[in-house]
Amino acid sequence: MILVFGGTTEGRIAAKVLEESGAEFFYSTRSDTQDIQLVHGRHVTGAMEVPQMVAFCQEHDIRLLIDAAHPFAVNLHRNIVDLAAQTGLPVIRYDRIYPPHDEGLVWCKDYGDAIRQLEQHGISRLLALTGVNTIARLRDYWQEHECWFRILKREESLTGAQKAGFPADRLVYYEKDDTAALIEKLHPQAIVTKESGVSGGFDEKVEAARQAGVKVFVVKRPDYPVSPGGSVEHVNGPHGLRRMVERLLPEFYPLHSGLTTGTCATAAAIAATRRLLSGETPASVPVILPDGETIDVEVTYGDGYAAVFKQAGDDPDVTNGIEIRAHVEPSDRFEICGGEGVGRFTVPGFDFPPGEPAINKAPRQMLRDNIKENVRITISVPEGAEIARRTFNPRLGIEGGISIIGVSGIVKPFSEEAFISSIRKCMQVAKASGSYRVVINSGGKSERFVKAQYPDLPQQAFVEYGNYIGETLAIAHELGIKNVTMGVMLGKAVKLAAGNLDTHSRLTTMDKDFVMTMLHEAGIDIDISDLTLARELWERIPQEKLQDFAAVVINHCARYCAPLLPNGHLTLLLITDTGTIFKQK
């Protein structure tokens, strides 16, 4: 059993990551103000000191602790570390992503230092964005100067401000993205904020102040306490959290995650660059994933290269166990090259023109984000040419080897049964949220676009179907969900329009003859004999005919989908790669 200390954005994400396992866990918060809906997790509330924590862990057979509390919750962090020391339990500290320290800001080691530096800089009008619990700590400043505190407009916060003796007419209330408006209204000389990280809106606050020419004082986050016993592992994102849980408590997830070829290539390139520039050969290197989090990846070394042996986890993958190498040499610019066993594009329609190595856009960006030096990186896969024969690469027009791919950097394994079970649980939560509509989508990219169409819906109303469109709609019908919106991108839509309710590439590929039929229905006459990917159609179809084509595709999709929701209403949205949405007429 796992015990999560939450109450934050990170806590909510941690709960979502653990829910994927289908196993029970506990989610602890001091109060019941955080709205979180759990299927397998059990929400417990109330502050606990170390003795109560120890008793709770013993009573419920807790075997792993996850500290996802606020970075400034110093006492709680210390209690968790003490708990680990007394029980020998391992701790995962799920922290935030923090931007590098900007020398243009005034960094303060604590609130006392903030007061001293505010005085030294002659600040007499201040907007404090540090929260209600810091009013008392900044009392020596606001008793002598004009100061406003922004707090949450809820009874607990109002009571806290009143107890601290802060004037009620100097309170301003938090509204999303309102920092710039407050600065414009109050005209402070400076703001003071915490080093709250990306999820705490730190960059947005700093940018709003800079745009207004207002000085920024930042109270640094406290160091995490050192554990005198047990162990503390640090992660800063959902993928790293899952991988760490898999390592520390392997039985919690029935299936384990793996790494994409893109992540493996990036790790090998980082290691090879470090060896080239400093002679270092670490056993593992930190890799920044596309979502900004950092994970450690084990590396090995050979004659003139560094390498990673790909671990696919429990995902069935022909590339599992293969060696992905990176050779790095000095250059006057940053270059990415494909070596032995890395395929090459031979037809147009991919992110890069024919002749380029089959290293996709996301892995290339990962390489650039992780390696700042001007070097020439050559990625090679000794077994790539042989393995590629067992993939769709030859059919897609990629010859000579495998592709270096991966949008998230992580392979999340799901057996069909487990994935459909996960969809069912998410649909149950969506219904329980009371939302008037459930929005199903294929993944993170499409979800981002459809969320903009329904800004009033709760997070729980958005459910990922992956490739299991038919199963998801059948579950919606079974649960009695009346209004469903389905977002689908063109690659899946052309398969669905042909009657494939499971769009996984292992089962079906794009039927160009059927695509041609749909083009004719829309009155479009273009040559698609060399079409490689469905998304190319958005560029090939004349602009004035896009709506006609989208309508045909949507109607064909609806023919197969609508009957699966006989007692409800289905709205279909066809989404382009850039986020344009065509709606069902």
The pLDDT of residue 230 is 62
**Which of these ranges, 204-218, 405-419, 439-453, has the smallest mean pLDDT?**
405-419
Separation between Cα atoms, residue 397 and residue 544, nearest integer Å: 30
Closest CA to 115 of 134, 100, 99: 134
Token output for 75? 């006492």
CATH (one of 3.40.630.30, 1.10.3720.10, 3.40.50.620, 3.40.50.2300) for 106-219:
3.40.50.620
pLDDT of the residue at 176: 56
Query: In 3D, which of 341, 335, 339, 351 has the Cα closest to residue 399?
Result: 341
Give the Cα separation of 59 and 56 in Å (integer).
5
Query: Where residue 153 falls among pLDDT bands split at 50, 70, 90?
Result: confident
CA dihedral of 364, 404, 340, 379, whole degrees rounded to 10: 40
Coil, helix or strand at residue 337: strand
- One-letter amino acid at 327 equals H
The CATH 3.30.2110.10 domain(s) of the chain lie at 258-411
User: Between vectors from CA 379 to CA 374 and to CA 383, what angle results, nearest 5°?
Assistant: 170
With CA atoms as reference, report the closest residue to 317 among 256, 267, 368, 234. Answer: 256
Pairing verdict, β 190-194 and 125-128: parallel
pLDDT tens column, 9-33:
999 999 989 988 888 999 999 887 7
Residues paired with 463 in a beta bridge:
440
**Whole-angstrom distance, CA of residue 238 vs CA of residue 217:** 30
Q: Under CATH, which architecture does the 258-411 domain have?
A: 2-Layer Sandwich (3.30)
What's residue 139's pLDDT?
93
Sorted by sequence, the CB contacts under 8 Å of residue 156 that are 6+ apart come out as: 31, 33
pLDDT of 481 reads: 92
Sorted by sequence, the CB contacts under 8 Å of residue 215 that are 6+ apart come out as: 106, 121, 123, 189, 190, 191, 209
* Mean pLDDT, residues 366-388: 94
With tokens 């459930």, the residue in question is: 438
* In the chain, % of residues over pLDDT 90: 56
Residue with token string 């650039």: 368
Question: Where does the chain hold its CATH 3.40.50.720 domain(s)?
Answer: 2-98+225-252
On whether the pTM is more than 0.75, the answer is no
Which of 95-104, 256-265, 440-449, 550-559 is predicted least confidently?
Answer: 440-449
pLDDT of residue 256 exceeding 80: yes
Q: How much is the pLDDT for 125?
A: 94
pLDDT above 70: percentage of residues in the chain: 96
Superfamily of domain 2-98+225-252: NAD(P)-binding Rossmann-like Domain (3.40.50.720)
CA-nearest of 294, 325, 330, 327 to 309 is 325
- Of 420, 436, 432, residue with least CA distance to 475: 420
Residue 186 confidence class, pLDDT cut points 50, 70, 90:
very high
**CA dist., res. 562 & res. 569, Å (int):** 8
Place 392 in a pLDDT band, splitting at 50, 70 and 90.
low
**Cα-flanking dihedrals φ and ψ of residue 487, to 5°?**
-95, 135
Q: Within 10 Å of residue 55's Cβ, how many Cβ atoms?
A: 11
Closest by CA to 78, choosing from 53, 113, 115, 106, is: 53
Q: With both helix axes pointing from N to C terminus, report the angle between 546-561 and 512-521 in degrees, rounded to the nearest 10.
A: 120
Query: Which pLDDT tens digit goes with each residue over 462-478?
Result: 888 888 889 899 999 99
Give me the chain's average pLDDT, please: 89
Q: Is the pLDDT of residue 121 over 90?
A: yes
Looking at 310-403, which runs of residues are DSSP E strands? 323-330, 335-338, 344-345, 375-380, 398-399
436, exposed or middle or buried, with CB in 10 Å at 0-12, 13-18, 19+?
exposed
Least confident of 263-277, 330-344, 505-519: 505-519
User: What span, in angstroms and rounded, lies between the C-alpha atoms of 156 and 162?
Assistant: 10
* CA angle, residues 189, 193, 198, in degrees to nearest 5: 130
pLDDT one-digit tens code per residue, 284-333: 999 999 989 999 999 999 999 999 999 887 766 778 889 999 999 999 99
User: What's the pLDDT at 314?
Assistant: 73
Least confident of 65-74, 354-363, 388-397: 388-397
As a whole number of angstroms, the distance between CA 266 and CA 367 comes to: 5
Q: Where in the chain is the domain with CATH 3.40.50.620?
A: 106-219
Q: What pLDDT does residue 37 have?
A: 78
Q: Binning pLDDT at 50, 70 and 90, where does residue 507 land? A: low
**Contact of 8 with 71, CB cutoff 8 Å:** no
Task: Judge whether residue 397 has pLDDT over 90.
Answer: no
Asked if residue 140 has pLDDT above 90, the reply is: yes
pLDDT score of 236: 93
Q: In 98-163, at which residue ranges do the beta strands (DSSP E only) sit?
A: 106-108, 125-128, 146-151
